Amino acid sequence: MKLTLFNPQFFYQFFYSLAFVFMFCLVLYKSLKRGYHLRSVLLMLTTISLCTVIGTRIFTIPIEDWSAALQLKAPEFNNRSSIGGLLFGLIGLIISTRIFRFKRPMLDLFTWLVPVAIGITKLGCLYNGCCYGLPFNGFWGIQYPVGTHGHFNHWVSGAIGNSDKLSLSMHPVQLYETLLLFIIGYIIWKTHKKWRKNGSAMLFALCLIFSLRFGVEFFRDHSVSHFSTTHYLGIWSIQWGMLGIGLILGVILWFYEKHFRLTITKSFPKILYIHAEFIYIIILAFFIYVFRNLLVAFELRVVWIMFIPAIIMSFYYLFTEVRLRNHRKLVALWLLTPFYVLAQTIPDQTPVIKKYKRIDIGGSFGDFSNTIKYNPQQVVAQQGQPQTLGGCGPATGTTYTTAYSYEFFKESYQVGGAGYSQVIIKGNKINTYGVNISGGSIKRTNLSTNYSESEFIYAINPYAKWDWKWLGVGVGFQLGKLRVNKNETITIGEETIAIDNENLDDLTKHHTFLPEFHIRVGPKKYLDIDYNYGFIMPSAYPTLYSRSSIGSAFGLSQDYSLRFGQIWNLKTGYMSAEALLTNKIGVNLMYVFKKTNNEIDKDDISGKFLFSLNYRFGHQQK
């Protein structure tokens, strides 16, 4: 069987990443069904993924070379071991399940997921031509083309000539492992409930995996192994090690199930103390920073796709949990640490561009509340005492206050839009010229009468921005049917009046034309502050038109940013993030924290959310 591939490294990275994504999605699905705290689940997945990728690399490096491997991106330290990943990942699993106090179902889930995930990565080895088998002439034997490990090593050893385009036919030992690991995963899935104690299914799975490795090593080519190539009694030393570990684990499992009274892992009913999660995030960021030179981009990617959602959810929890109100500023600064580490782990492969075009598509939605108070009446706030006993005249010490009648309104909006812009880069100056169009609806509900009405809003928005390293300015305007609203209480009149549309219009302002402007001070790459009246995609209106913030790109380009700020017209805070997913696709996200102006609808008013995607094309490089 001939295997013809144009980019074997792509397939290796694809199946490597697929294994982690498979595990991530299934654990997340099961966690949602069981009602686990997603922050803890994501941090656990991050821990396991980080330990696994570190284990696959460091397990193949001699201990005396560990220091050099951590300090330099040395090409000679590029081997990987699935056994190392398994052992280190197991350590991460035990640590995180103990810290976050997950019960037995979570541990049992990983016992059958892990063999399947390893089996998926072995498909990457099959296509990459690494970990290949001994020469074999059977009809299912596999031959590798030029550019793969199998072909190169056969050519170096003289097994094939300079003109041979294919390697010798060999055992597809990676495929053997994949199929057998899938079978082990199925066996564990069917039997994990039959074990009496926590951790027994995990010991059983490890016993089967090490026994499997002992068997498949008979078909693997050890001539270029990064482990010891010595053998005893016709069996490689690595096989003796696998067999020994498998037998020891089998004895431990038997003794643990039959005679040992304590359990390896215990279940805890309470969740982790909320402050400890924030400390745990900093610890994970520290380890990522320490091992950043050892790991390559696709290995770091599988860690960050789990770590970043955990950090974002922690930010959300920090700013919505009342008990953390006094700690928000300090903890928020600490939670920025992982993003600095992220900036240090992203390779700088961005080409130098002098001009490109950009298309944005986005939307925003949310609720806000308004209150009208009317019908002022003077009432006694505190009753005084008569001037004399049984005497005439007003009481002394009587105080009065003004009481009102109230009407409460809830307004919900959905706005979508699209934009086109051209970006021109001249040295340290970036000029942006563009236009956006937006449209949507606002639904107004009187919470006293439950009467609702809706209206359509739309706008066209030309704008221009000029950004230098330390300063940025922008101007533009919105033209169309616009509404400017905010959470507020308005007093109407000095006498009893009816609540009708004219009075409600005092809560909203209709405009045909609204100006926009933007100013930024400080290097956006490191730390800057800004103020915006308007200037947001798809539209700053109806609620988010006046805001300021502080943010950083953590040493990356101006295409990245994490910001915290204040919506002045809403008197509430927000956080936003901007990033490039590829060199052509970017994303912008903003969440405005929940804010309501009355007690009636405080549980129904949600936060406000904005999102947009942008596509960049027509790049012209210097």
**Tens digits of residue pLDDT in 413-449:** 889 999 999 999 888 899 999 999 999 988 888 877 8
Q: Is there a single domain that holds both residue 582 and residue 489?
A: yes
Residues 287 and 254 grouped into a single domain = no
Contacts of 576 (CB under 8 A, 6+ apart): 549, 551, 561, 562, 563, 565, 588, 589, 590, 591, 610
* Region 155-175 average pLDDT: 85
pLDDT value for 343: 73
Please determine, for residue 270, whether its predicted confidence score (pLDDT) is greater than 80.
Answer: no
Instruction: Record the pTM.
Output: 0.63
Report the pLDDT value the prediction gives residue 385, as an integer from 0 to 100. 56
For residues 267 and 148, membership in a common domain is answered with yes
The domain boundary, picked from 325, 347, 369, lies at 347
Pair (590, 523) in one structural domain: yes
Assigned domain for 86 exists:
no
pLDDT in tens, 502-511: 444 545 567 8
Q: How confident is the model at residue 458 (pLDDT cuts 50, 70, 90)?
A: very high
Residues 183 and 306 in one domain: no
* End position of a domain, from candidates 221, 252, 272: 272
CATH of the domain at 442: 2.40.128
> What is the pLDDT at residue 128?
83
**DSSP-based three-state secondary structure for 616:** strand
Do the domain assignments include residue 91?
Answer: no
Same domain, yes or no: 480 and 604:
yes
Diameter of the chain measured on Cα atoms: 126
Residue 391 in domain: no
- Per the structure, the complete domain to which residue 585 belongs is given by 356-379+398-621
Confidence label for 543 from pLDDT (cuts 50, 70 and 90): confident
Count of domains in the chain?
3
Q: For residue range 495-540, list pLDDT tens digits in order.
A: 444 444 444 454 556 788 989 999 999 998 889 999 999 998 888 8
pLDDT of residue 420: 96
End-to-end CA distance of the chain: 47
Residue 192 has pLDDT above 50, yes or no: yes
Give the pLDDT confidence of 76-93 residue by residue, as tens digits. 677 888 888 899 999 999
pLDDT for 286 beyond 60: yes
**Spatial CA neighbour of 441 closest among 416, 461, 418, 413:** 413
Confidence of residue 381 (pLDDT cuts 50, 70, 90): low
Neighbours of 146 (CB within 10 A): 11
d(CA 601, CA 607): 13
pLDDT value at residue 114: 92
3-state secondary structure 44-67: HHHHHHHHHHHHHHHCCCCHHHHH
Question: pLDDT tens digit string along 289-333?
Answer: 999 888 888 888 889 888 988 888 888 778 777 777 777 777 877
Does 450 share its domain with 595? yes
Check residue 217 and report its DSSP letter. G
Q: Has residue 309 been placed in a domain?
A: yes
- Verify that 106 and 156 share a domain, yes or no: yes
Same domain, residue pair 366 and 340: no
207 in any annotated domain = yes
